[in-house]
A and B are shown apart, each in its own frame.
Chain A
C-alpha cells in the first residue's frame, strides 16, 4: 500500500493548458507539501498545508493553486501552463509534532510534467 501516492506519474501537455496533479496519503499525517524539482535536480518547497490550512506559500506564480479537501489529500492545479513549468513535482507529508529537523517526511514518487 503506497504511503504517498500521486497521479498522474507522467503528464505531457501543451502551453496554455490547465492541468491538475492529485496527491493522497494514507499515513494519517496532518501536514502535506508540494515540492518542485527542476532540471538541475534542486528540490524547492512550493506549498505546505496543515489540516487543510495553507501554511507555506513560497514565491510561486498564482497560476499554481493548491487545494486540500481534507488532510489526506492535497491537489495542485496549474493554469496557463508555460514551458518553464516543466519539472518533477513531489508531494510529501509529515505529522505535525512528529518531525524533528528534516526527519519524518514521506515523499511520493513524483509527477513528471512536460510542457510542449
Chain B
C-alpha cells in the first residue's frame, strides 16, 4: 500500500478556506485516494474519496493532479467544529483483505 506524507499540523481561523496537501509518490494505478476526519474520542469518519481530477461533496473538495502523486483536501469556510485530525489514505479495492494504513494525519486547529 502506498505511503502518504502530510503536514503534522495546521492552524486556521474561522471562515477561512483550508487546504491540506498529501503526498503519495508511490501510488498504484488501482489505488483510490480517501480522506478521513477524526475528532477527539471518536473513530475516523469518511469525508471524501477520489481517483483523479476533482471531486466535491457537501463537506469538502478533493483535487488530484494528473500524475496522482499528491492530493489536496479543501475545506471551505472552516468553523471551530472542523478542528480535528485529517488522514489521507491510498488503497486499492480489497474489502476484508485491505490493510488500511493511517499515517500521522494532519491536526487542524481552527481558532475564532
Given A43-B102, A101-B91, A107 contacting B96 (CB threshold 8 A): no
Contacting B at CB under 8 A, from A60-116, are 90, 92, 94, 96-105, 107-110, 112
Q: Number of A residues whose C-beta is below 8 Å from B?
A: 33
A50 touches B95 (CB 8 A): yes
Contact partner, B93, options A42, A44, A100, Cβ 8 Å: A100
> What residues on B are CB-neighbors of A100 within 8 Å?
32, 49, 93
Contacts A41-B104, A92-B43, A109-B43 hold; do A102 and B91 have CB atoms under 8 A apart?
Answer: yes
Which range holds the interface residue count of chain B?
Answer: 20 to 34
Interface of chain A, main secondary structure: strand
B96 touches A48 (CB 8 A): yes
Picked from B34, B46, B97, the residue with its CB within 8 Å of the CB of A48 is B97
Q: Chain A residues with Cβ under 8 A from B99's Cβ? A: 45, 56, 58
Q: Is A55 close to B, CB under 8 A?
A: yes
Q: Which of A41, A42, A107 contacts B43 (CB 8 A)?
A: A107
Chain A CB within 8 A of B100 CB: yes
Chain A neighbourhood of B29, CB < 8 A: none
The answer for the CA separation of A97 and B94 in the assembled complex, in Å, is 8
- Are the C-beta atoms of A42 and B44 separated by less than 8 Å? no
- B87 / chain A contacts, CB cutoff of 8 Å: 43
Residues of B within 8 A of A35 (CB): 102
| B14: interface (CB < 8 Å) | no
State the Cβ distance, A40 to closest chain B Cβ, in Å: 8
* A103 contacts B49, C-beta separation under 8 Å: yes
- Taking the nearest CB of chain B, how far is it from the CB of A19, in angstroms? 20
Q: Which of A56, A92, A105 neighbours the largest number of chain B CB atoms within 10 Å of its CB?
A: A105
- Residue numbers of A with Cβ under 8 A of B are 4, 31, 35, 40-45, 48-50, 55-56, 58, 90, 92, 94, 96-105, 107-110, 112
What is the interface of chain B, defined by CB distance below 8 A to chain A? 31-34, 36, 41-46, 49, 85, 87, 89-105
What are 12 of the A-B contact pairs (CB < 8 Å)?
Answer: A31-B95, A41-B85, A41-B104, A42-B103, A43-B44, A44-B101, A92-B43, A96-B95, A98-B95, A100-B32, A101-B89, A110-B43
